Amino acid sequence: MDGRPIGVFDSGMGGLTVLHECLVTLPHEDFVYLGDGARLPYGPRPLAEVRVYAREIARFLAAEDVKLILVACNTATAAALPELQEELDVPVVGVIAPEAHAAVQATRNRRIGLLATQATVTSARYERLVRTLDAGAELVAVACPRLVPLIEGDDPFGEATVAAVRDYAAPLKAAGVDTVILGCTHYPLIRPILQRVFGRDVTLVFSAEETAREVAETLARKGIEHAADREGTYRFLTTGDPVQFRTMGQRFLQLPIGEVEHVELAALAAAAAAAAA
């Protein structure tokens, strides 16, 4: 038995959709979630810059004595997962591999679409993973810079969001994809809009359940599970506005959010510097 918490991080609140599945799948485990609201969004930033941020946060969580780190952000996973796995002493799980695997299994015509941030598309990590799993599969990727601000806005289900989804879906529909990866943790919040635009014959893939299962399997394989006969706790940190995080975060988590602690960016940088020393 290992009573240490699981560390989870994202650029903001989208990763709470992944945390939700972890809380359901692993109700006996403790979690600490850090949202980097001060530097949101990651999507338009260069991959090298996102890699720096991911390293800072991961090392900060490692200093909080977590037993596993879940990178609940597609952009950060694309930018930094291999480096984090090499550099940290705890297991690190990302969200891209489970989605790529699920998409390859779901597709019938081997034409897969990807909706993601610009940084995730630029990394080409999905394409490499899909081709590794099925060299004959085709991946068509579309960057969606308008979606995250709309989803976090006052009217996430409004006409502006529907119009943006139609624009981004058009090249994927033209390519004849039968499976679409929702390559950003924000996108499941508007899944009904996406499904209506793509139609019922297109399978939408979001890996929260698969990712939670991978976390559970990693804990079991490493022998670092918590006792199964308890109810776990969850704790929230943000580099942004705690009030905004709490208010909007409940939309993503679909569970109560109590106190949210503020973390200064300097504390993240200090943790990274101490780990590198």
Q: Which residues are catalytic?
A: 73, 184
Q: How far apart are CA 66 and CA 91, in angstroms?
A: 10
Instruction: Name the DSSP letter for residue 254.
Output: -
Beta carbons within 10 angstroms of residue 135's beta carbon: 7
Beta carbons within 10 angstroms of residue 173's beta carbon: 15
Q: Give the strands of the sheet with 260-262, arranged side by side.
A: 92-93, 68-71, 6-10, 31-35, 234-238, 260-262
65 sits in the region (left: phi over 0; alpha: psi -120 to 50; else beta) called left
User: What is the 3-state composition of the chain as percent helix, strand, coil, each rounded to the nearest 5?
Assistant: 50, 15, 35
Beta carbons within 10 angstroms of residue 153's beta carbon: 12
Q: How far apart are CA 81 and CA 75, in angstroms?
A: 10
Q: How far apart are CA 228 and CA 108, in angstroms?
A: 38
Q: How far apart are CA 102 and CA 105, in angstroms?
A: 5
3-class SS of residue 7: strand
Q: How far apart are CA 225 and CA 4, in angstroms?
A: 9
